[in-house]
Amino acid sequence: MSALSPAVVAATRDLELAARLVVEGWRSGAHRSPFHGYNAEFQQHRPYRIGDDLKYLDWKILARTDRLYSRQFRETTSMSVMLVLDTSASMAFPEDATQLSKHRYATIIAAALAYLITSQGDAVGLITTVDDRLEYLPARGGRPHLRSLIARLDRLEAAGEWQPDRVIARAAELLDRRGVIIVVSDFYDAEDATRTELRRAARRGHDMAMLQVVSPEEVAFPFRGSLAFEDLESGTRQLVDAGAIAMAYRDNVSAFLKRCREHATTDGFDYALLSTDVPPEAALRAFLLRRGSR
């Protein structure tokens, strides 16, 4: 089955249906879950037996007692995933009603992930900001919770500013055990502070993923002539010669995206660049296949 175009998915007003359509291709294949069974909790020690994997030896006990003991772990039956969604005004681009905005694209991706995670018996939650206050839904499983989460997603709008470092830090605190945190954003805000909190969350034991959403116009900058550009978050307007700044603009955007990707790789995070002209199903499939192959 071919992937549905962004325009077709965007025209589907029912967000739960859009999420199901995006996930359907993934579920039809025999793919290993990219989330299930990630958690492994320590259960007990037992005397070392020949053939045991040496990586499970408890070296601290050996140093204290001169005896060999292996650590045993119990794999949990479910994974907790927290979706962190950027709802800042920059995500409203493009504002042209005929195109898929970054916000709508990110919402569809988040809803599809929630649908997939829930269908695999895992728990999913959501955290974002609305009017500078945290909007939070704890990670749970089950169809009623999925519908509540998707309904919450559907009510969100891209407006104002947000503090990604604050939201990521709170997400890491609210996950009650080691889990997965997936941040869906354009990552324009507080670049250094965001990286700091992503790394701090990873040090708490969470598996981190960055899904960076961009529009083709932001990257290619196909504009010409004297145009007025408005900062969607501050409202500042500036008249510029688009042709004169095009090359420097593209170089800066390319450097920014490269920096985000390289930082994610260096820090050991999953990373995917999602362009709004790519069918959401194809973008999600590529991300999940890369993650599953780890």
The model's pLDDT over 154-191, given as tens digits with 9 standing for 90+, comes to 999 999 888 999 999 999 999 878 899 999 999 998 99
- Judgement on whether residues 159 and 63 belong to the same structural domain of the protein: no
Number of domains, the chain: 2
What pLDDT sits at residue 44?
Answer: 66
**How do residues 103-150 score in pLDDT, each as one tens digit?**
999 999 999 999 988 988 889 999 999 888 999 999 999 999 999 999
* Domain end point (choices 75, 101, 130): 75
- Judgement on whether residues 56 and 188 belong to the same structural domain of the protein: no
- What pTM was estimated for this model as a whole? 0.80
- Judgement on whether residues 65 and 92 belong to the same structural domain of the protein: no
Amino acid sitting at position 153: L
Chain position carrying tokens 């660049």: 273
Specify the CATH number for the domain of residue 114: 3.40.50.410
- Judgement on whether residues 25 and 59 belong to the same structural domain of the protein: no
Rounded to whole angstroms, the Cα distance separating 104 from 84 reads: 15
**How do residues 247-259 score in pLDDT, each as one tens digit?**
999 999 999 999 9
- Judgement on whether residues 70 and 88 belong to the same structural domain of the protein: no
Q: Is-contact 81 121, C-beta < 8 A?
A: no
Q: Which pLDDT band, with edges at 50, 70 and 90, does 270 fall under?
A: very high
- Judgement on whether residues 11 and 64 belong to the same structural domain of the protein: no
Rounded to whole angstroms, the Cα distance separating 100 from 111 reads: 16
- Judgement on whether residues 173 and 54 belong to the same structural domain of the protein: no
**Which residues, including other chains, have CB under 8 Å from residue 48's CB and lie 6 or more apart?**
57, 68, 69, 70
Rounded to whole angstroms, the Cα distance separating 194 from 131 reads: 20
- Judgement on whether residues 48 and 116 belong to the same structural domain of the protein: no
- Judgement on whether residues 27 and 54 belong to the same structural domain of the protein: no
**Residue ranges making up the domain that contains 190:** 6-35+78-292
User: What is the b/e burial string over 255-264, where b = at least 16 CB atoms within 10 angstroms of the residue's CB?
Assistant: ebbeebeebb
**How do residues 30-43 score in pLDDT, each as one tens digit?**
445 566 544 455 55
Residue 1 lies in a domain: no
Q: Which pLDDT band, with edges at 50, 70 and 90, does 222 fall under?
A: confident
Residue 260 lies in a domain: yes
* Domain end point (choices 75, 99, 123): 75
- Judgement on whether residues 51 and 127 belong to the same structural domain of the protein: no
- Judgement on whether residues 82 and 71 belong to the same structural domain of the protein: no
Q: What is the chain's mean pLDDT, rounded?
A: 84
Residue range 236-246: mean pLDDT, rounded = 85
**How do residues 274-290 score in pLDDT, each as one tens digit?**
999 998 888 888 888 88
Residue 166: its H or E element: helix 164-174
Report which DSSP code applies to 35. Answer: S
- Judgement on whether residues 181 and 49 belong to the same structural domain of the protein: no
**How do residues 58-84 score in pLDDT, each as one tens digit?**
777 777 787 777 776 555 556 899 999
What pLDDT sits at residue 88?
Answer: 94
